[in-house]
Chain A
Amino acid sequence: MIYDEPRFLPGGDRYVTVEFGNEMNLELNFLAQGLATALAQNGTKGVVETAPCFASLLVHYEPNDIRFADLVAELRALIDSLGPSEDIELDSRLFYFETMYLDPWTKECIADYCAKITEKEYDPDFVARINGLEDRHQLVRVHSGSEYWVASLGFWPGLPFLQPLDPRAMITCPKYNPPRTWTPQGTVGMGGSASAIYPVATPGGYQLFGRTPVPIWDTEKRFDVFDGNIVLFRPGDRIKFVPVTQAEYEAAEAKIDAGSYVYNMVDYQRFSVRNYHRWIATVDKDERF
């Protein structure tokens, strides 16, 4: 549910969690990101940083500059001034990522898991089956059919938790049990209703079905698009996975290795919750691509 009044939950001496509800719902994330943006624009004294998650916003504050009770009062006033979530508009960059679905590298990773840990169905077939899709090829059409919303980042620095913006691309699946000991860098996968890209090779638990060569982690400052940061994404970005062949994947990878790769990103759009609502009201959510 979405709470009538957000809850303000203390976390030690320096944090407060603003909880907007208790479900996975893009609306709650829009509220969290809307509040984060409003706090940044307002320049509220004592707010050190914020971190949106699916249904809440974590606020890190400096207690020497603002008392807990005063911060809660400020947050309440800001939330009231935001008005209904309909009015929220957020700057949103859109990244196009070459992605090879059903690629040999995640296939090898899955085979290694089956050999060393436990037998399981090939992830794309499993995810297609439990979501009532025809086959793995329809999974590719469905998954690549939507833009994805960066709801939050975590688990590993720079790892984006993504929700499809198009309800026709909404699918769900359980995570691995037990988890994997390794996952190739750039793997695209999902668990629950969230998709993710693995920034570097790490353990993990998501079902795997594709890989992108495009770096989202850069400690060597090789690409200007990172703007001095180590991780690419910020909350409120969008990603579109563009299916490519292995030859196209490798061509992009060669450019990345040479440092000549050009990120396909556009940065002129604002995400309007009102326009988004207007559009999804016209969409038959049971349709599949």
Chain B
Amino acid sequence: MLEIVKPGLETSIQDYPGRIGFWNQGFPPSGPMDSWSFRLANLLVGNAAGAPGLEAQYMGPTIKLQGDSVIAVTGADMKPTLDGEPMAIWQSVAVKAGQTLVLGPARLGARGYLAVAGGIDAPQWLGSASTFHKASVGGLDGHASQAGQLLPVRAAQGTPGRRVKAGRQPAIAADRKWLVEAVPGPNDDWIDAAGHERFLATEWKLEARSDRTGYRLEGPDWTFTEKATDKPPENGSDASNIVDQGYPLGAINLCGQKPIILVHDGPSMGGFICPYTVPSAAFWKLGQSKPNDHYRFKSISVDEAQALARTLDEICSDDSIE
């Protein structure tokens, strides 16, 4: 059992890949924003890569360990301590009942992950333990962790001292400037050549009003092709309006002039165009960026995006652990 002493800013149970199969009823997948770090944390403690663990955002939790176990912390550097002593991240660590784990503010990156051998024993809500707190679904009770809560852990043996091999962990941008891949489409033909050029040349700033539903970007205005203005009225009056359509996860959704990247707890559909989509292999960069970080986008093809996803899946395997 893990006892939540202080919950941190928003610490939630997530599993990977999350709540898949309910997009046509409006359910987002949820799951960890940085599934690279999340999967490695699980593999370090001997779990299946997708087992339920904790995602801590910006400010980590304080947790009292109720039993002997093996844990691993990955992702953002939250300078974890065990009973006040610094604890190594990106490796599995043996812990004793009664010890206190403190995850502090995220120094590098935004989201830290805690895996515990056996995984957190949370109920399945539509096939997933992932918390979607906006709709009070998932986790133990539909919400982020609360002070005083006890998180049950499945019985398992972990091995301490396992590490992530050099070069196999995500390179979190210390200068807070990210190069993020983006695949044109589904609605790239609504943007004119100058608009595409501007999108790819701009250093976009991530706004403070960004969370697990959407990442709002600050930057120049967009310009459109005729498609955006010459359309049946039920598309809506704004250039960025389209007859309501399903949104891909990672879509860069244009609301008027405001681009919003739709992430793991985002909407399944709506009436705005999506000129680009961030591919799954780049989601971890979104998960580890903070408000006021800067993004440059690099246009890649569907094939290139799928090759990146395959490479990431290979990295998120036992081959990366020593």
The interface of chain A, by Cβ under 8 A from chain B, is 1, 9-17, 19, 22-24, 36, 48-58, 60, 63-64, 67-68, 152-159, 161, 192-193, 200, 219, 229-231, 233-235
**Chain A-chain B contacts (Cβ-Cβ < 8 Å), number:** 170
Q: Are A22 and B274 in contact (CB under 8 A)?
A: no
Q: Are B234 and A11 in contact (CB under 8 A)?
A: no
Q: Are B245 and A55 in contact (CB under 8 A)?
A: yes
Per-position 1/0 for B304-322, Cβ under 8 A of A: 0110111001000000000
Cα(A13)–Cα(B242), bound, Å: 22
Interface status of B224 (Cβ within 8 A of chain A): no
Most B Cβ at <10 Å: residue of A1, A14, A24, A159: A14
Q: Are A156 and B232 in contact (CB under 8 A)?
A: no
4 pairs of A and B residues whose beta carbons are closest in the complex = A58-B246, A11-B248, A154-B269, A9-B186
Could you say which residues of chain A place their CB within 8 Å of the CB of B28? 157
Could you say which residues of chain B place their CB within 8 Å of the CB of A53? 243-246, 269
Could you say which residues of chain A place their CB within 8 Å of the CB of B25? 153, 157-158, 229, 231, 233-234
Chain A's closest residue to B27 (CB) is: A157
Most A Cβ at <10 Å: residue of B24, B235, B243, B306: B24
Could you say which residues of chain A place their CB within 8 Å of the CB of B126? 229-230
Q: Are B135 and A11 in contact (CB under 8 A)?
A: no
* With A12-B277, A63-B309 as contacts: A58 and B26 at CB distance below 8 Å: no
Q: Are B24 and A49 in contact (CB under 8 A)?
A: yes
Q: Which of B130-145 contact A (CB under 8 A)?
A: 135-137, 142
Interface status of B270 (Cβ within 8 A of chain A): yes
Taking the closest CB of chain A, its distance from the CB of B270, in whole angstroms, is 7
Q: Are B244 and A54 in contact (CB under 8 A)?
A: yes
Could you say which residues of chain B place their CB within 8 Å of the CB of A10? 183-186, 277, 302
Q: Are B277 and A11 in contact (CB under 8 A)?
A: yes
Interface of chain B: mostly helix, strand, loop or mixed: mixed
Interface status of B223 (Cβ within 8 A of chain A): no
Taking the closest CB of chain B, its distance from the CB of A88, in whole angstroms, is 17
Interface status of B303 (Cβ within 8 A of chain A): yes
Cα(A44)–Cα(B24), bound, Å: 17
Tell which of B8-16, B166-174, B278-286 binds the partner.
B278-286
Cα(A233)–Cα(B21), bound, Å: 14
Chain A's closest residue to B183 (CB) is: A12
Could you say which residues of chain A place their CB within 8 Å of the CB of B235? 22-23
- 14 more contacts with CB within 8 A, not counting A19-B245, A50-B23, A154-B267, are A12-B251, A13-B305, A13-B308, A15-B277, A23-B243, A50-B24, A53-B245, A54-B244, A54-B245, A55-B245, A58-B23, A152-B244, A154-B26, A231-B22
Could you say which residues of chain A place their CB within 8 Å of the CB of B23? 49-51, 58, 60
Cα(A57)–Cα(B245), bound, Å: 8
Could you say which residues of chain B place their CB within 8 Å of the CB of A193? 234
The 8 Å CB contact of B24, one of A9, A19, A52, A63, is A52
Interface of chain A: mostly helix, strand, loop or mixed: loop
Q: Are B183 and A155 in contact (CB under 8 A)?
A: no
Cα(A150)–Cα(B113), bound, Å: 39
Interface status of B249 (Cβ within 8 A of chain A): yes
Q: Are B248 and A22 in contact (CB under 8 A)?
A: no
Q: Are B248 and A58 in contact (CB under 8 A)?
A: yes
Could you say which residues of chain B place their CB within 8 Å of the CB of A158? 25-26
Taking the closest CB of chain B, its distance from the CB of A10, in whole angstroms, is 4
Q: Are B245 and A56 in contact (CB under 8 A)?
A: yes
For this complex, 9 residue pairs linking A to B, each with C-beta atoms less than 8 Å apart, are A14-B309, A19-B186, A22-B242, A51-B246, A52-B246, A54-B245, A60-B23, A155-B270, A192-B234
Chain B's closest residue to A17 (CB) is: B186
Interface status of B46 (Cβ within 8 A of chain A): no
Could you say which residues of chain A place their CB within 8 Å of the CB of B250? 11-12
Q: Which of B1-52 contact A (CB under 8 A)?
A: 20-28
Per-position 1/0 for B227-268, Cβ under 8 A of A: 000011011000000111111111100000000000000011
Taking the closest CB of chain A, its distance from the CB of B312, in whole angstroms, is 10
Q: Are B248 and A155 in contact (CB under 8 A)?
A: no
Chain A's closest residue to B268 (CB) is: A154
Could you say which residues of chain B place their CB within 8 Å of the CB of A234? 24-25
Chain B's closest residue to A13 (CB) is: B305
Interface status of B210 (Cβ within 8 A of chain A): no
Could you say which residues of chain A place their CB within 8 Å of the CB of B277? 10-12, 15
Q: Are A13 and B246 in contact (CB under 8 A)?
A: no
Interface status of B149 (Cβ within 8 A of chain A): no
Taking the closest CB of chain A, its distance from the CB of B144, in whole angstroms, is 16
Chain A's closest residue to B234 (CB) is: A24
Interface status of B187 (Cβ within 8 A of chain A): yes
* With A152-B24, A219-B142, A229-B126 as contacts: A13 and B245 at CB distance below 8 Å: no
Cα(A53)–Cα(B126), bound, Å: 22
Chain B's closest residue to A9 (CB) is: B186
Chain A's closest residue to B277 (CB) is: A12
Could you say which residues of chain A place their CB within 8 Å of the CB of B136? 219
Taking the closest CB of chain B, its distance from the CB of A206, in whole angstroms, is 13
Could you say which residues of chain B place their CB within 8 Å of the CB of A36? 24
Could you say which residues of chain A place their CB within 8 Å of the CB of B137? 157, 219, 230
Chain B's closest residue to A59 (CB) is: B246
Q: Which of B63-113 contact A (CB under 8 A)?
A: none
Could you say which residues of chain B place their CB within 8 Å of the CB of A16? 186
* With A9-B187, A53-B269 as contacts: A153 and B243 at CB distance below 8 Å: no
